[in-house]
Structure 1
Amino acid sequence: MENGDNGKRKCKRFKEIIFKRIHILQWLPQYTKLDAVSDVIAGITLGLTMMPQSMAYATLANLPAQYGLYSAFIGSFIYVFFGTIKEVSIGPTSLMALLTLSVCRDLPIEFVILLCFLSGCVELIMGILRLGFLVDFISVPVVSGFTSATSVIIIMAQLKGLLGIKYNSQGIIDWAYKLYLHINKITLGDSLLGIACMIFLIAFKQLPKIKVKSETSKKILWLFSIGRNALIVLLTSLLACYFEQKWGKVPFKIYGNITRGIPDFKPPQFSTKMGNETLSFIDMVGMLGSGVIIVPVIAVLANVAIAKSFAAGKIVDATQEMVTLGLCNILGSFVQSMPATGAFTRSAVSNASGVRTPMAGLYSGTIILLALTFLTPYFYYVPSATLAAVLISAVMFMVDYEIIPKLWKINKFDMMVTIATFCASLAYGVELGLVFGVIISLIPLLKMWTRPKIKSQTIALQSGEMCLLLELQVGFLFPAVDYFTQETVKILNNFEKMHISVVIIDFSTVLRLDYSSMQSLQNLQKTLKKMSITTKFINVSEEVSAALEKYYRKDELVFCYSDSGKLLENSYKISFSKTNLNEQLPLLNC
């Protein structure tokens, strides 16, 4: 009977896990016709937006355009089943493209696909182990500097496409120097087309701000604004086709052939050949370096941030979002995808289009599949300058210059963190720039834990003796043990003439103790005992008192006053009592 009950409980628990993780099971039973209509409209609108953007992002990553489309359709489909936020759409982004370019520079496409697979594995592990809190160590000033630098780098990288020139560069100085060397190779056709596309895209972005009375006119303006990327790609492609048909020559560079059709479903290559050398899986991972960690961490950061932005006050299941993102990239690598995550621009389009559920991803993914199946011959005429303009117009407003004056007023150190992250990312690459920014931003936090502020005051007891009260402003863990001991002795020396006989340490802010901190307290007691000074603790939490009980020997006398509300005495001679400090001091038998 008992085994049967256990089996039922396990079965029920398994169903609950499945129901929670396969999120479509929660909303599909309540799916209505109105939801379906809204999702179809939002999905088609999003698909038309994703199509040119995905091609542009692949170009930014120095990949053929179809790889961006592969990422777009697989991420859209998977998120339908596992995603929790209806506005989120998984696919290629400018940030992922730039990181991919940085990590896989001069490496074959097999490395990009493997990076996608490994990123998915890391994201999945982060979700299963609930390691999303690690992303919290990337502060807003670091994100601002990193994002701004990324935007500048993307603009720099695409400027050559906008001007019709080609060269490879690494870093802002090399980029500026190469641009100077190639300035005489700028083509008039590409430059004029690129500038015209930029003006078109920026102007059409502002269309919804035009004040019109008719609701129909508002919707038309909004539709043209949302579809501006697809519209400019269509118009300039028709222009290129016209030039070729009319004069047999196009006055600007066009993209060229794109592989047609849906990719084969197969696992990524875990070994490959470069020249005459065969590289093992370990060799490939070694060549990807820190990107195996940085790419998924940034992807999680971006996706969770977007999910929180569009959660409408609801609690975001960060674990589910990380698991979903991991599945998108793992399965994406089986269709030759580049690393993917959510994008604010796509989420904004979905939100503005009236999306109701994640089902919209089914329709946007279908649009991409149809494009891969039927439209790739026409992508031949897409001008390179147009794709460059699409990218530049998308990221140029991401440079967060407005945060600098705010940080100047509020926290100058945070401002320096933003500037340092920005400069390091430009000079040494976005991966190193991010790591550098995180390390700098952690300095105040590390200093707080290694050099905690200690508030001290002397209190005269009823017995006539003097007591020194020490209050830690933060917790007490191993980085602070030496500093606390030194400061305690220094404070006692300053009060030497007052003949302190008791040192009371207030543990109000101490939530836990590690072995080093308990050992330090014991050593401090021994040091003070030689000075004929007794050491006692007050306001000790249950967790800390339990740790002290396990650490101290029975023959050691320690007095601990906690907020438990009861007076307890045990074999360790540790007593606990909820009490006002001033009322309790006479009872300490000092």
Structure 2
Amino acid sequence: MIDTLRRYIPVFDWGAGYNRETFSNDMIAAVIVTIMLIPQSLAYALLAGLPPEAGIYASIVPIILYAIFGTSRALAVGPVAVVSLLTASAVGQVAEAGTAGYAVAALTLALLSGGFLLALGLFRLGFLANFLSHPVIAGFITASGILIATSQLKHILGVEAHGHTLIEMVGSLLSHLTQLSVVTLIIGAATTAFLFWVRKGLKPRLLKAGLSPKLADVATKAGPVAAVVVTTLATWAFGLSGWGNVAVVGEVPQSLPPLTLPGFAPELIRQLAIPAILISIIGFVESVSVAQTLAAKKRQRIDPNQELIGLGAANIGAAFTGGYPVTGGFARSVVNFDAGAETPAAGAFTAIGLAIAAVALTPLVFFLPKATLAATIIVAVLSLVDFSILKKTWAYSKSDFAAVTATILLTLGMGVEIGVASGVVLSVLLHLYKTSAPHVAEVGLVPGTEHFRNINRHKVETDPTLLTLRVDESLYFVNARFLEDLVQDRIAADCPIRNVVLMFPAVNEVDYSALESLEAINHRLTDLGIGFHLSEVKGPVMDRLKETHFLKELNGKVFLSQYQAWTELTQDSRLKVAE
């Protein structure tokens, strides 16, 4: 019973050894992350097309639920840029921003996303995320970063602009330049420049001035808060929202997250189902990648399937408390880790800090310029843009390069939904392409050993009557015919061959299509009077083959080792020559 609780509710695992020192470290991390998260939450809600308080609401209950059900000690869950952009794209298709229907659709999207993640976790299907290749994900995130930064330029310039693709956004911005607000531009540009300087230059200067590394780090993370305070005070003191035409956040409800109800209309669910699945996949891949990286640094481990449950619970919590889809954020989690967080309790303390902010501080952001929040988003997301992935994939794998390039271009040119869908499809197609023509090497005996190597790479002994092919990939419907054709072509070009051996040391699976191909090879070789053999077949594969008629109909043998096959078959060959 206790083991089951620890497995599905990890708080019973790490909570058992919680002590005062751990509490102190978690509290320090929570303070730092809370300072960072307040402006980020407001900004990402703006990006999602929702009221600013939605960002804070999405950062309270979801964090607590993840702390209970998640396995990462450092992952910080909440609104993130890419998911916020995907939310705006998906919800914008079914409702108009600023309406009650838009907010309900965002809640429904969180519920569907959470339900999908929870189902994957309960059925232990976390491996499905492996079908998304890292280069494709990197390409999608790079393109999304460009789209997000471009979408925020309207707030920096103080103009009205719309669009879902890069061309639409740029065109809309250019057509509305006559509405440019000079004061807004000054605030936005100055804040952006300041935040870039804070990110790159503030900490070294503070360390040089003699400040301790921890205090310098806190001051650096508080940079966005300083920008919020200064620009808000300036807007209020000089009445910039009036004569300067500076758009401000306005009134934000002073309350804890409310109880909300998502929409259950069948048509709404149908329209949001696919976007919810795509958001779930992207969010999970980003989250689990960060969690695994941080866990490895402390020799800890995470359970991907339990992570699905934790993220699913967090999103369901967001759906009923005024939020929208959430996931583990890269920058926020790294800050949490570097600040010394030791358990998920740090996230729960962060939620408490945000709850206090929601009750006590929201009146203070009335005069917060939207340009400041836009600058916060731009500085955060530009760190996601990494065009070096193009150079790296071009040098290493042209097929990966093609997939990354296509993902970037489709995302920029057709929008994030098409981009993420194409990323999923391209990842699967790339896998199928790479495994459709598996590496199959003709091998020979390394002199003086019992080892066999590729005849094209090593000086090895061969026998003209024996053909040995080492299959370096599992066999399934995509590549089964490839092997069949390869064997046929090889024996057609070499008349002395009397025996064919397929080495299976790397074959972990033989599906039914591949079994039929093996049977076809056996029948064809039998008709030609050529022996057909297998060697070094793994136990699980052998168990499956024993359940079929294949081994009974095989005209040759299954050898435990390739050396055994070589010894017996070459000896038979010499005997036949002697006769």
- What TM-score, normalized to structure 1? 0.86
Residue 8 (structure 1) aligns with: none
**Cα offset for 1:39?**
2.3
**Cα offset for 1:117?**
0.7
2:466 alignment partner, SS class: strand
The runs of 5 or more residues in structure 1 that have no matched partner are 1-13, 272-280, 564-576
Amino acid at match of 1:36: F
Decide whether the 8 Å contact of 2:235 with 2:241 is kept in 1: no
Q: What is the number of residues matched between the two proteins?
A: 547
Paired with 2:71 and 2:333, the residues of 1 have a C-alpha distance of 13
Decide whether the 8 Å contact of 1:424 with 1:433 is kept in 2: yes
Residue 15 (structure 1) aligns with: 2
Residue 539 (structure 2) aligns with: 542
Residue 347 (structure 2) aligns with: 361
Whether 1:167 and 2:161 are equivalent positions in the alignment is yes
Paired with 1:82 and 1:299, the residues of 2 have a C-alpha distance of 17
Decide whether the 8 Å contact of 2:159 with 2:180 is kept in 1: yes
Paired with 1:344 and 1:458, the residues of 2 have a C-alpha distance of 49
Select 1:425's aligned residue among 393, 411, 417. Answer: 411
Further displaced range: 423-432 or 27-36: 27-36
1:47 alignment partner, SS class: helix
- Measured at CA, do residues 427 and 209 of structure 1 come closer, stay the same or move farther in structure 2, by a change above 3 Å? same
Amino acid at match of 1:480: N
Whether 1:203 and 2:197 are equivalent positions in the alignment is yes
- Measured at CA, do residues 223 and 541 of structure 1 come closer, stay the same or move farther in structure 2, by a change above 3 Å? closer
**Cα offset for 1:559?**
3.3
Decide whether the 8 Å contact of 1:539 with 1:560 is kept in 2: no
1:370-423 superposed Cα distances (whole Å, 9 cap, x missing partner): 222232222221101111111111111221123333333333332332222111
**Cα offset for 1:88?**
1.5
Paired with 2:441 and 2:22, the residues of 1 have a C-alpha distance of 60
**Cα offset for 1:46?**
1.4
Whether 1:235 and 2:234 are equivalent positions in the alignment is no
- What is the 5 A alignment of 1:149-228? 149-205=143-199, 206-210=201-205, 212=207, 215-216=210-211, 218-228=213-223
Further displaced range: 187-196 or 410-419: 410-419
Whether 1:40 and 2:27 are equivalent positions in the alignment is yes
Decide whether the 8 Å contact of 1:123 with 1:322 is kept in 2: yes
1:580 alignment partner, SS class: helix
1:335-379 superposed Cα distances (whole Å, 9 cap, x missing partner): 121000111221222233332322222322122212222322222
2:408 alignment partner, SS class: helix
Paired with 1:335 and 1:437, the residues of 2 have a C-alpha distance of 31
Whether 1:86 and 2:73 are equivalent positions in the alignment is yes
Whether 1:64 and 2:19 are equivalent positions in the alignment is no
Percent sequence identity is: 28
Paired with 2:33 and 2:503, the residues of 1 have a C-alpha distance of 58
1:139-164 superposed Cα distances (whole Å, 9 cap, x missing partner): 22112211111110011100000110
Paired with 1:555 and 1:48, the residues of 2 have a C-alpha distance of 70
- What TM-score, normalized to structure 2? 0.88
**Cα offset for 1:97?**
0.2
2:152 alignment partner, SS class: helix
Paired with 1:559 and 1:253, the residues of 2 have a C-alpha distance of 81
- What is the 5 A alignment of 1:25-36? 25-36=12-23
1:418 alignment partner, SS class: helix
Paired with 1:247 and 1:579, the residues of 2 have a C-alpha distance of 83
Residue 393 (structure 1) aligns with: 379
Amino acid at match of 2:77: I
Whether 1:523 and 2:520 are equivalent positions in the alignment is yes
Whether 1:98 and 2:85 are equivalent positions in the alignment is yes
Paired with 2:143 and 2:293, the residues of 1 have a C-alpha distance of 22
Paired with 2:436 and 2:325, the residues of 1 have a C-alpha distance of 38
Paired with 1:37 and 1:538, the residues of 2 have a C-alpha distance of 59
Residue 134 (structure 1) aligns with: 128
Select 1:332's aligned residue among 311, 318, 325. Answer: 318
Paired with 1:72 and 1:479, the residues of 2 have a C-alpha distance of 44
- What is the 5 A alignment of 1:270-419? 270-271=264-265, 281=266, 283-311=267-295, 312=297, 313-419=299-405
Residue 40 (structure 2) aligns with: 53
- Measured at CA, do residues 422 and 219 of structure 1 come closer, stay the same or move farther in structure 2, by a change above 3 Å? same
Decide whether the 8 Å contact of 2:104 with 2:261 is kept in 1: no
1:33-90 superposed Cα distances (whole Å, 9 cap, x missing partner): 2332332232122112111111110110111111111101112222332333332111
